[in-house]
Each structure stands twice: as structure tokens, then as C-alpha cells.
Structure 1
């Protein structure tokens, strides 16, 4: 499976990539919204793990832009956040799910294995 991780927290993203590649997936990395959107616009990803609080953009806006067009428009996009208040009552429908940081291995595996 081809994965994209978009997060400005380098330690978090390196851990997620190590886990994903250890499970046999390929992974690309972006550390801000613009780079994530550029990658998703050029390449097809099966799953995109997208931080909601990026230094240059709101992850919800990046998600909507990815959904609007491009080779990754049908990817499963999972929001990542450390803020429970963002998840509760967010009203966001573009995401296919949420992962609360710190992300556990079982939670990550659930989204990697689900259709």
C-alpha cells in the first residue's frame, strides 16, 4: 500500500513511517500542508495520514483540496491530532477517520488494514 504521512512533528512521522514500512508498505513524507498537497497531486496514495494543525495550513483545508481533484482524491484520509476538542463536534466529513496522538500501533494498524 502506498502511504503519505503529513505532519510537522518529525519524531512522530519518523516513527509512523518506520512502523508502516516494517509492515511492508511504502511511505512518503511531507512536513507541511503545501508539500503534502503537492505530493498528493502528483502521486496516487492509498492512505493519507494528515495532521490537522500544520504550520502553513489547516489540515481540514488540505483534505478538502486533495478530495477535489488529483490522483489521490479517492484515498482514505485519516486526520491526526493531539486535540480531542478538534475531533469532538468537528463536523468534518472529508476525513475517513481520526487518530488521536500519540498514535498507538493497534490504531495505526486498524487504518492500514481497513478498506
Structure 2
């Protein structure tokens, strides 16, 4: 699978990429909303793991923009957050699921194994 991880926390990204590549997936990373949109509009990703609190954008807005057009519009987009209030109100977004930080290996594997 081709995966995009988006988070401004570089240590978090390194860990997620290490796990995903260890499981045999192709990975790309972005550290902000602009980088995410540049990648998602130029390349097709199967899954996008998107932090909702980015330094230059709200992850919910980025998710909506990806959904409008481009090669990744049909990707499963998973919100990553440390905000439990987002999780409680997650039914109002275009995300296909969420991962609550800190992200466990089992939770990440679940999103990588499901279609």
C-alpha cells in the first residue's frame, strides 16, 4: 500500500514510517498542510494519516480539499489527534476513522489491514 503520513511532530512521523515500512508499505511524509496537499494532488495514496492540528492548516480542511479532486480523493483518510473532544464529535467530518495519540502499534495495524 502507498501511505502518506502528515504530522508536524517529526519523532511521531519517524516511528509511524518505521512501522509501516517494516510491514512492507511504501511511505511518504509531509510536515504541514501545504506539503500534504502537494503530495496528495500529485500522487495516489491508499491511506493518508493526517494530523488535525498542523502549523499552517486545520486537518479537517485539508481532508475536505483532498476529497474534492486529484489522485488521492478516494484514499482512506485517518485523522490523528491527541484531542479527545475531536474523537467524540468525529461523526461530523469527512475522515474515514481516527487514531488517538499516542498511537499504538495495534491501532495502526488495524487501519493498514482493513480495506
State if a TM-score over 0.5 links the two structures.
yes
Gaps of 5+ in 2: none
How many matched pairs? 115
1:100 correspondence with 2:113: no
Contact 2:33–2:56 (CA under 8 A) maintained in structure 1: yes
Matches of 1:19 and 1:92, distance apart in 2 = 30
* Superposed CA offset, 1:25-68 (max 9, x none): 01000000010011000000000000000000000000000000
Runs of 4+ in 1 over 2 A off after TM superposition: 90-93
Contact 2:44–2:71 (CA under 8 A) maintained in structure 1: yes
User: What TM-score does the superposition give when structure 1 sets the normalisation length?
Assistant: 0.98
Contact 1:76–1:95 (CA under 8 A) maintained in structure 2: yes
Residue in 2 that maps onto 1:62: 62
Matches of 2:91 and 2:3, distance apart in 1 = 25
Matches of 1:29 and 1:93, distance apart in 2 = 22
Residue in 1 that maps onto 2:80: 80
What secondary structure sits across from 1:71 in the alignment?
A: coil
Gaps of 5+ in 1: none
* CA RMSD in angstroms, aligned pairs only: 0.7
How far the C-alpha of 1:72 sits from its partner, in A, is 0.1
Residue in 1 that maps onto 2:32: 32
How far the C-alpha of 1:89 sits from its partner, in A, is 1.8
Contact 1:60–1:92 (CA under 8 A) maintained in structure 2: no
